[in-house]
Amino acid sequence: MDTIKVLIVDDSMFFREVLARGLKNRLPAGSAIEKAGEPFAARDKILSFDPDVMILDVEMPNMNGIEFLRRLIVQYNLPTIVSSSRPAYKALAMEAGAFAFIEKPSST
């Protein structure tokens, strides 16, 4: 099985770490995971890391994930999974070009 490069973009360090740990055990050997805390850092990681897929939070500082995806999709055909604790964002995410939407578990 081929290796996969995943970029996780979320302003919550806790969620980035939990997601990375969960993915690490499920990805093929040799796969790589990079993380960014906000869209501008993610843009730099996309250029340097060249991920195969991105998991993108919606509510972040500087620019929300939906707007970032709208701007990104014009230049990069990067399959993106949008994640949010608010399912109301699903339609906006899909309209913006998301490949899929996953709901974050609630804090309770």
Task: Specify if 41 maps to a domain.
Answer: yes
What domain range is 75 assigned to? 5-103
108 inside domain: no
In the chain, the number of structural domains is: 1
User: How many whole angstroms separate alpha carbon 60 and alpha carbon 55?
Assistant: 13
- Tracing tokens 């850092």 back to the chain, one arrives at 41
The pLDDT profile of the chain, 108 residues, written as one tens digit per residue, is 699 999 999 999 999 999 999 999 999 999 999 999 999 999 999 999 999 999 999 999 889 999 999 999 999 989 999 999 999 999 999 999 999 999 987 754
- The CATH number for 91's domain is 3.40.50.2300
Q: Is residue 58 part of a domain?
A: yes
Pairwise CA distance, residues 46 & 5, whole Å: 11
pTM of the model: 0.93
40 assigned to some structural domain: yes
34 located within any domain: yes
